[in-house]
Amino acid sequence: LKGEETNHFRINSLKTSPEVVSQKLSQDGINFFINGYHLSSKVNLVSYELFNDGLITPQDPSSQRVAEVVNPKPNDFVLDGCSAPGGKAFHMASMMNNIGKIIACDIYPHKLRLIEEGSKRLGVNMIKTMLIDIRNYPRDELFDHVLIDAPCSGLGVISHKVDLKYRMTLSKINDLIILQQEILDHVACLVKDGGYLTYSTCTINIGENEKQIHNFLRKHTVFKKVHEEKIIPSIENDGFYICKMQRGS
């Protein structure tokens, strides 16, 4: 199933299994491919019964990889600092078996509504949405995991957001790098001792990725890098950068 028109979904483990989804799609004569909980098909399944019932949800495999790297466990306390439209929060909730708490932040009310609507469709009841700029998040609680899926230049998803190459400028990228730095600097103190900070972007720009993390670790020496990967964009997946860091005592 190669090609730009392939549609990617995550199978929602809170409601179903790959076996059940496979059986349903086969019965309906839909061509598909399943690898673990990742489903791909040339057919757009967004108006299909499996989507409406919350058994599948759209998500690129690179985006799915982010929650896998975070790897939250049931009963963990998680902060998703730049959450909308919520795909990674939903994925983490399924990995946590709907047990624990995820605070999903965004600066736009209509985007938080998308998270709330998605939670209802997927059967997720452990996500609390918060209208806030993550740079202003109160420093009165500590988290097992903080995920920053940062605002970025989006150069890893340019294949299906072609207008980006006309709108993105060097000046805008430099502004984004400053914003990313401000976010990372603020949330560093929200991670409990032994907890994890995971930073991800959908760009392949070194200044927003490797250099950003290098500067962060040089400034915040209490953190150490425990995992780093770059996913190069292809016809099968978006480009992504993911870095997981642990806070020492």
237: helix, strand or coil: coil
Locate the DSSP E strands across the chain: 7-11, 33-35, 38-41, 56-58, 77-80, 101-106, 127-131, 143-149, 191-201, 223-231, 240-247
- Residue 243 annotated in active site: no
Q: Which of 82, 152, 202, 243 is catalytic?
A: 202
**What does the alpha-carbon distance between residue 161 and residue 92 come to, in Å, rounded to a whole number?**
26
Show the tokens assigned to 92.
Answer: 């983490």
With tokens 């799609």, the residue in question is: 25
Catalytic residues: 202
